Amino acid sequence: MTDTLPDRLSQNPKSPHYDKELLERGIGIRFNGAEKTNVWEYCVSEGWIRVVAGATLDRKGQPMTLLMKGTVEPFFEKTGGIGSGE
């Protein structure tokens, strides 16, 4: 496994940007200088993240998300991350 993070990553298993191995390893996201723990999907080149909006689900059973634009900096965490279930 490489130490390079993809430009885009999603927690949705139906997404083409889903990578189970990377999510299990633990990815952290720094957005506009602040660490975010509720990121559902991110794209570095386009400068956006999707964050989970509470426990609300859409009609397909996926979490409701909000799109936020800014500077996205993904990094590997030692424990936890967007795929850890925390």
- Model pLDDT for residues 7-53, shown as the tens digit of each residue: 999 999 999 999 999 899 889 999 999 999 999 999 999 999 999 98
> Does pTM top 0.85 for this prediction?
no
Does any domain span residue 1? no
Does any domain span residue 81? no
Kind plus residue range of the DSSP H or E element containing 67: strand 63-69
* Residue 66, domain extent: 8-76
Does any domain span residue 52? yes
Instruction: Compute the distance between CA of residue 30 and CA of residue 6 in angstroms, rounded to an integer.
Output: 15
Does any domain span residue 45? yes
Number of H-type helices and E-type strands within the chain = 1, 7
Does any domain span residue 84? no
Instruction: Compute the distance between CA of residue 60 and CA of residue 30 in angstroms, rounded to an integer.
Output: 29
Per the structure, the count of domains in the chain is 1
